[in-house]
Amino acid sequence: MVESLLNKTTYYFMENLIKKAATLLSTIEVPDLPEVILLLKEELNKKFPNTVTIASLISKDPQLLAEFLALVNTNVTSERSLIRDAKAAVNLLGLDDILNLFVSTIISNLVAQNALEKSILTHGAKSGLAAAELSYWVYDVSRSQAYMAGLMQNIGAIYLSKLEPDLYEEMFIASLSNPISAYQNELKHYQTSHVYVGSLLAKKWHLQPEIYKTILFHHDIDFAIKTVGNQTIKHLTALTILSNYIVSSTDQDLYINQELKEYRDAAKQVLSLPDNALTAAMAAVNKWGSKGLVNASH
Q: In the chain, how long is the greatest CA-to-CA distance?
A: 59
Q: Is the pLDDT of residue 158 over 50?
A: yes
Residue by residue, DSSP assigns 140-195 as T--HHHHHHHHHHTTHHHHHHHTTSHHHHHHHHHHHHH-TTHHHHHHHHHHSS-HH
Q: Is residue 298 part of a domain?
A: no
Residue percentage of the chain with pLDDT more than 90: 87
Q: Is residue 247 part of a domain?
A: yes
Taking only the tens place, the pLDDT of each residue in 23-49 is 999 999 999 999 999 999 999 999 999
Kindly report the CATH number assigned to the domain that includes residue 95. 1.10.3210.10
Taking only the tens place, the pLDDT of each residue in 216-254 is 999 999 999 999 999 999 999 999 999 999 999 988 777
Q: What is the mean pLDDT of residues 155-183?
A: 96
Q: Is residue 296 part of a domain?
A: no
Q: Given pLDDT bands bounded at 50, 70 and 90, which one contains residue 11?
A: low
Q: Model pTM? A: 0.94
Q: Is residue 295 part of a domain?
A: no
Indicate the number of domains in the chain. 1
Q: Is residue 130 part of a domain?
A: yes
Domain extent, residue 95, equals 2-288
Q: Is residue 297 part of a domain?
A: no
Q: Is the pLDDT of residue 80 over 70?
A: yes
Phi, psi of 142 (to 5 degrees): -85, 165
CA distances from 220 to 132, 226, 241 (A): 21, 9, 9
Q: Is residue 80 part of a domain?
A: yes
Residue 126 pLDDT:
97
Q: Is residue 180 part of a domain?
A: yes
